[in-house]
Amino acid sequence: MPSLSLEESRRRADLLTVTSYDVALDLDGDDQTFASTTTIRFTAAGPADTFLDVKPRQLLSARLNGSPLDVGTLHDGRLPLTGVSGDNEIVVEAVMGYRNDGEGLHRAVDPADGRHYTYAMSFLDAAPSIFACFDQPDLKAPYTFHVRAPEDWVVVGNGHAEQAEPGVWELATTQPLSTYFVTLVAGPYHVVRHEHDGIALGLECRASLAEHLEKDAEEILTITTQCFDEFHRLFGVRYPFGDYHQAFVPEFNAGAMENPGCVTFRDPLVFTSKVTRAERTNRATTIAHEMAHQWFGNLVTPIWWDDLWLNESFAEYMGNRVTHDATEFTDPWVDTAFGRKRWGLDADQRPSTHPVAGNGATDALAALQDFDGISYAKGSACLKQLASNLGDEVFFAGVREHFARHRFGNATMHDLFTAWEDAGAGDLSAWTQGWLRTASLDLIALDRSGDTPVLVRSTPAEHPADRSHAMSVARYDDGAGWVVEPVTVGAEPVALSPASAGRPVVLDPRDQTWARFTLDELTLTAMPDLLPGLDDPVMRASVWNAVRDGVSNATVDPEAALRLVEAGIPHETQDIGVAALSSFAVGTLADKLLPDPEAARARFHAAALRRVESAQESSGVQLAAVRGAVASAAEPELLRRWLAGDVPAPRVEVDLDLRWRILVRLATLGAVGRTELDAAFDAEPSAKAAVDRVQAVASLPDAEAKEFAWSHFTGDTKASNYAIEAAGTGLWRRGQEELTAPYVDRYFAELPGIATVHSGWVLADAAREFFPRLAVDPATLTGAERVLADDGLDLSLRRAVVDCADELRRAVRSREAFWR
């Protein structure tokens, strides 16, 4: 189906004003389809021709101002409307199909009890598969929903829901919403209700997760109420959308979606096993992130997808800031430095890099390709820098003015920056050009060739920009320890203090700017001795970001990086640091870059066990270290003992999550069979266990297992989005190259065809997860280049291959540089 183009959206927005939507859905039928009746009232400035968006299984009828339209004219999801003018009413009756890809009206079956659950995900262009609409962000309108459902179901949505009679639900008319915000959550959900400051709050989850949600409800609701109070204080505008539900729904693609009045979250955020502090912090920042959207994105919405970064960058910044300032979870900036920043830095160095703002997307699908670490992490870093430069008084005065000028409407980036300038920011055009409208990032390196060390900034030739970096440097002094000094780096080299000569130096230790940084040879050599005593977690994250960047760009020997991991992880105090280093050591260094992966795993395994033994009992650090030890274990007998409960630390429970981590590792080693995996699932069936079982089976070192995994890629096995990702993860395992070698060529040969069996987010996820990432060989890159030469390749597939091939190309360069 064609993607809506920017030009088409402009023409339709100039023509139409949508007054209201009235949508009736009948969900009390079979589990494949549902009835949808949509009444839309709109005014047209015509007469002119336009079209309505609707993607049904069967279009039963359409009547414009009482006159029937020819349903046979529906083509590619567009129903032509000819010569519309003045006030109009269109009524569309259709049979719609439930989806299982996390989009549209998704229907899932809980393996724990066989119950069915639905939820609506209307982003980016999925709304027309639920109801007829004019599907673009700048045609906002109020919505009224009427829903018939099985009598044991609960229904919530954007508007306050009341049960009129058993199985019949009426939802209050909403404030004006963009189509992509419309949601409905319906099923035998467990509900927790609360109230704060006049706002009715609700938490929803599958019935099988009820006890786990009840256990965490106080924490979730406390975070929610604290964030509401802080957002009200900062924004000066009360939450404007009535009730506030937070529904944890199955098989959700994103972390969450900010639907006004009813935010949907992936339900693994209802924790069923022990988790780390970082995982709880991530849930807290996700809650705050989606709450920030209620103002920035929902109250004021971008006109076109080009400005979607404003939604995400702003929510990312405010989510971290408000979580840090208003809740017990004070580590968001540390966790961002270890995790989210690396996501953005990697994205900003790829061939697919793009400006934070104004990416020039000509249609909706093209815009979706740039919904990445640049839109989130880099944009957030830029806004954090801007807020620091302007000060809170000017920053929030501009935001409040922006809300006032465009309340319940749409706006552009220019509108926001005008509000800031009007609030006293001064001319922001140069800053905007360098940081938001120019792609890629600077490299800041320490030059020790002279008597005094000098900082040198270089900018990519293909993306020239003049960016000034207000940051710090830290030098190590034998007597004083780490000494931090401010510095501003621009086009000219900056001389450091003479005291830095011959001393280890860490650049940007406080994570103040957005750039690549190097660790010079003197500092890298000294770091194994210094890292254990470095007690600032943000500085440690800066060190690791420089190391990971050096490994990625083949300037740091992976062997040196592994030695540093061995020195650092036994002393790492942040559980997200332990998790990040585990992934780096096992998934990057051992799996891709070092010539003896088994030896590399063994060295990391020993270091992880040292951290298990030294960590505080029952701490998140200990749990993260246990997980790392499981991922790197090579002895089935050891894993068997752990599976039986004889773990290497007291008070570590082998719960559902840890049990399946051990089973997946045993499967990879060929030390468990399908019968035992099935029995483990039958003993404790759950949605998570079902996905873990798929990954475990796909990880087995036999031909049948690899064909099982591959069938998820081709669509021959119908599976949920989570199961497809798990199958791709399990397919490629180091040490199984003889089994997986045929799938390298098969991937490139069969990739174009999967666009006929997968769609939306799942299509891109499948392309990424099944990419032959462990086939680190120039021949694999040749295969990628061959498939990319196809001009007709789906955009989502093209972006996935470009990014995965870039990562593989970096691994090839590293091997060429350091394998001896």
- At a CB cut-off of 8 Å and minimum separation 6, what does 480 contact? none
Smallest Cα–Cα separation from 612: which of 654, 570, 563? 570
Please choose, from the candidates 517, 638, 619, the residue with its C-alpha nearest in 3D space to the C-alpha of residue 572. Answer: 619
CA gap 382, 395 in Å, rounded: 13
Catalytic residue at 290?
Answer: yes
| Token pair for 553 | 């760009």
Angle separating helix axes 277-293 and 575-582, nearest 10 degrees = 100
Choose the catalytic residue: 204, 258, 279, 290. 290
d(CA 571, CA 578): 9
Distance between CA atoms of 775 and 781, rounded to whole angstroms?
9
Instruction: For residues 466 and 472, give the distance between their C-alpha atoms in angstroms, rounded to a whole number.
Output: 19
Longest dimension (CA), the chain: 87
Q: Which two tokens stand for residue 774?
A: 């462990």
Is the Cβ–Cβ distance between 684 and 690 less than 8 Å? no
Task: Mention every residue, 6+ apart, whose C-beta is less than 8 A from residue 508.
Answer: 444, 469, 471, 472, 473, 515, 517, 542
Q: Judge whether 439 and 465 are in contact, CB under 8 Å.
A: no
DSSP 732-780: --TT-HHHHHHHHHHHHHHGGGGGGT--HHHHHHHHHHTS-TT--SHHH
What sign does the dihedral 398-198-166-170 (CA atoms) show? negative
Residue by residue, DSSP assigns 20-84 as: EEEEEEE-SS-SSEEEEEEEEEEEEEEEEEEEEE---SEEEEEEETTEEP-GGG-BTTEEEEEEE
Residue pair 687/111 in contact (Cβ under 8 Å)? The answer is yes
Of 714, 680, 673, 709, nearest to 694 (Cα)?
709
Say how far apart CA 368 and CA 360 lie, in whole Å.
12
Query: What DSSP assignment string belongs to 666-727?
Result: HHHTT-S-HHHHHHHHHHS--HHHHHHHHHHHHHSSSHHHHHHHHHHHHTSS---HHHHHHH
CB atoms within 10 A of CB 305: 24
Within 10 angstroms of residue 525's Cβ, the number of other Cβ atoms is 12
Q: First and final CA of the chain: distance in angstroms?
A: 51
| CA separation for the pair 312, 333 (Å, rounded) | 17
Please report where in the chains the tokens 């389809």 appear, as a residue: 33
3-state DSSP assignment of residue 561: helix
* Matching residue, tokens 């035992």: 676
Catalytic residue positions, numbered: 290
